[in-house]
Amino acid sequence: MAEAVIIPGVMIVFLAILCYNNILFSILLVPYIPFYVKERRKKLREKRSWMLNMQFRDLINCISSALESGYSIENAIREGYLDMKLSYDEEELIMRETRMIMGKLDNNRTVEEVFLDFGERSGLEDIRSFADIFATAKRTGGNLIQIIKSTADVIHTRVELKRELRTVIASKKYEADIMKLIPFGLLIYLRLFSPDMVAALYGNLFGIVFMTIILLVYLLLCKISDHVVKIEL
């Protein structure tokens, strides 16, 4: 929590000095802190969702293998958890979720219920789709082994496709981040080596209004840039 306040705090002080030449104008930029905190939390949620999506793919593959070995679905989940322990730390999100699933099964909840609940809590389309397909298969007496294997293959394909897209777009995100720094780099350069060119922007009402408009436009463009290179899970 402290980091979420300190970082934007340092940023607004820097911007106040760079854009207004007066640290007191940091007060004008304080509304940026909630915006930064909101965006930071959003990115953390997206990162968490992406990691959970990949981990769920691995869990389903482990469950599918256990089912093919003759285990019941309940025992296959437990075997899948043991297999996952070989690759994941017990505090990983998917491991905690799997322990929660096993705990609910021990309390006589049905497998359909726990997967549907997991899908709703995760908010991930792959998990919700799997839970819906699994629940339908249980009600209609479908071939669970084949259905889970087919669903696992579909999830694996989707995750790999998203991974490739993220790799391709990663360079574009890096370029976008560099572009975001260029305006400030130019302003720093002008203030250091050609102060007369920007002197008219400081110490007067016109400069304050102009810089404020520029900052608002800059934030808008940053938002558009982030949206362009965003990948929905």
For the residues 150-162, what does the mean pLDDT come to?
82
- Assigned domain for 184 exists: no
pLDDT of 2 > 60? The answer is no
Highest-scoring range by mean pLDDT, 112-126, 167-181, 219-233: 112-126
- Assigned domain for 70 exists: yes
- Assigned domain for 73 exists: yes
The DSSP secondary-structure symbol of 69 reads T
Amino acid at 106: D
pLDDT of 233 > 60? The answer is no
Q: How confident is the model at residue 81 (pLDDT cuts 50, 70, 90)?
A: very high
pLDDT of 36 > 90? The answer is no
Regarding pTM above 0.85, the answer is no
Residue 96 pLDDT: 93
Q: What's the structural domain count of the chain?
A: 1
Residue 104 pLDDT: 92
- Assigned domain for 63 exists: yes
- Assigned domain for 95 exists: yes
Domain span at residue 148 reads 56-162
- Assigned domain for 181 exists: no
- Assigned domain for 20 exists: no
**Cβ-count burial 15-37 (b if 16+ within 10 Å, e if not):** bbeebbbeeebbebbeebbeebe
pLDDT of 1 > 60? The answer is no
Any idea what the CATH number is for the domain that residue 134 is in? 1.20.81
30 vs 92: which has the higher pLDDT: 92
> Backbone phi, then psi, for 212, in 5-degree steps?
-65, -45
| 17, containing H or E segment | none
For the residues 82-87, what does the mean pLDDT come to?
92
Residue 188 pLDDT: 92
Task: Using alpha carbons, select from 136, 94, 130, 95 the residue that is nearest to residue 115.
Answer: 130
Task: Using alpha carbons, select from 79, 58, 6, 62 the residue that is nearest to residue 37.
Answer: 6
pLDDT of 8 > 70? The answer is yes
